[in-house]
């Protein structure tokens, strides 16, 4: 099986002024494409090793699958979490669950921003199937710090390539502007699917 990079679900300039056309073009077409290429290359290595019964490079290839597949999946989620029509707060079941698990939307947002400020990679809102609750998670390098059984609901990429061109070192300003383009319809659907499967 070969993995491919899907096009953005909106035009490259659709999220301006919050995220520039240049950043989206670099981030999607070059950076995200690199994870897709890395995943495919690692899978090819593993397949060749199995055929040759030579597993000397398999451990590294397995790590490459983990790293690159996580990078691809989280970037795909990141693009889907945003839209030109975003910027509102969540509604319906997800809004109710955020209030139940965090006390209020403001409490969730403050904790999520703290995660985004400390991450070397990603801040995620996940549905934790083991504990049956929503949880904010700091994930470094795509795959360090993830919660087993955690299904991502909302993803924010805070690697420097996501914001330095537009905001310089002002990561907090980028995080604030992320909330101007979050489209909660997609995370709400993802949450409902996870709950339906695991509750």
Model's pTM, two decimal places?
Answer: 0.91
Q: Is 143 annotated as a binding residue?
A: no
Q: Is 161 annotated as a binding residue?
A: yes
Q: Is 53 annotated as a binding residue?
A: no
pLDDT attached to residue 66: 93
Q: Is 64 annotated as a binding residue?
A: no
> Tens digit of pLDDT for each residue in 136-166?
999 998 888 787 888 999 999 999 999 999 9
For the chain, the maximum distance between any two Cα atoms, rounded to a whole number of angstroms, is 56
**Of 98, 78, 82, nearest to 90 (Cα)?**
98
Mean pLDDT of the chain: 95
Taken in order of first residue, the domains within the chain and their CATH numbers are 21-80 (1.10.287.990), 92-198 (3.55.40.20)
> Tens digit of pLDDT for each residue in 67-88?
999 999 999 999 999 999 999 9
Q: Collapse the DSSP code of 5 into the 3-class scheme (helix H, G, I; strand E, B; otherwise coil) and give the result.
A: coil
């Amino acid at each position: 099986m070969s993995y491919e990079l899907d096009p953005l679900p909106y035009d490259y300039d659709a999220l301006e002024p919050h995220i520039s056309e240049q950043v989206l073009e670099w981030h999607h077409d070059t950076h995200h494409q690199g994870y897709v290429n890395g995943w495919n290359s690692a899978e090819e290595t593993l397949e060749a090793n199995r055929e040759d019964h030579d597993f000397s490079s398999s451990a590294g290839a397995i790590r490459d699958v983990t790293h690159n597949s996580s990078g691809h999946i989280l970037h795909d989620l990141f693009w889907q979490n945003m839209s030109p029509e975003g910027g509102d707060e969540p509604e319906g079941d997800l809004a109710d669950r955020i209030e139940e698990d965090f006390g209020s939307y403001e409490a969730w947002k403050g904790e999520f921003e703290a995660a985004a400020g400390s991450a070397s990679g990603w801040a995620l809102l996940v549905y934790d199937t083991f504990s049956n609750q929503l949880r904010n998670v700091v994930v470094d390098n795509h795959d360090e710090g993830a919660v087993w059984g955690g299904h991502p609901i909302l993803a924010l990429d805070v690697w420097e390539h996501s914001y330095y061109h537009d905001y310089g070192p002002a990561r907090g300003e980028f995080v604030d502007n992320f909330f101007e383009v979050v489209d909660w319809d997609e995370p709400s659907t993802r949450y409902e699917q996870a709950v339906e499967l695991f509750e």
